[in-house]
Amino acid sequence: MVKSLSLLSFLFFCVVSISFSQVCTPDPSATKNGTHPDTLVNFVPAYAGTPYSQTITIVVPMDTTVPILGKIKWDSTALSGVTGLPPGFTYSCSNTSSKPNLCSWPGGTKGCVIITGNPTTADIGTYPLKFQTNNYLGGSTTANPYVANGYKIIVNAANSINEVLDIVFFKQNSPNPFDEKSEISFTSNDNGTVQFKIYDMIGSIVQDFDIEVKKGTNKIVLNGRDFEAGIYFYSLVNGKNSFTRKMVVKK
């Protein structure tokens, strides 16, 4: 039974924002049961010398279908532990009952987990993570444990960007998906330089360059001819925060 429940047992993760508070807020746009993002998307990269934060939204189903038993109520999902975090990284939880460190969510609700830390050059590397969950079904007090693998945090060397720019608005590229050209708009309250990176599905850097930013609205133009068809992730780093989005290139 545990194996048959594995696809729904670990109900994580939707990247919603970069926040350095220990209190997280579930993403209101995350409504589908399952994993948001999945292990292919994974978590935003970390940089030595830059505070890190990853918010995760948890959407728990109201019920599930079990072989022989049929449809049964999903009582709750509890996160019992996270292993593999970089040194000094911690996590805390929030849920619909507004109890900030209660890592348990009833069926049919959503909550969130926030991972924070301050990586150093000594922490550079890849950290595979394991999330231990206990799932309670059909009124039983016996947990169905499940360990989710495949998620990771990659700690990179320090950014080449020294100044911290006040990026107040960062839009998803449009159109998306695209095959010819797509445009990213963002607004800054300062002049300066930001770092822009594009990653492929396995986390390899496809493009990496600095952008001279002016106060006000700025634009980045992407050319579909520069990419193979597929899913990519781009990240804008302003010296403190990392803004990450997903894009799809079609041919």
pLDDT average, residue stretch 16-21: 35
Better-scored residue on pLDDT, 190 or 27: 190
Choose the CATH number for 167-249 among 2.160.10.10, 3.40.50.1360, 3.90.45.10, 2.60.40.3080. Answer: 2.60.40.3080
Contact 145, 134 (CB under 8 A): yes
**In angstroms, what CA-CA distances link 158 with 106, 118, 122, 237, 240?**
40, 12, 11, 11, 11
**What SS3 state is found at 79?**
strand
Rounded to whole angstroms, the maximal C-alpha distance in the chain is: 63
Contact 37, 14 (CB under 8 A): yes
Q: What is the pLDDT of residues 115-171, one digit of tens each?
A: 889 999 999 999 999 999 899 999 989 999 988 888 899 888 875 443 444 555 678
- Sheet containing 167-170: order of strands: 167-170, 181-188, 216-223
Q: Does the pTM of the predicted model rise above 0.75?
A: no
Domain extents in the chain? 3-156, 167-249
Fold that domain 3-156 belongs to in CATH: Immunoglobulin-like (2.60.40)
Question: At residue 154, what are phi and psi to the nearest 5 degrees?
Answer: -105, 120
Give the pLDDT confidence score for residue 11 in this predicted structure. Answer: 40
Is the pLDDT at 96 greater than 50, yes or no?
no
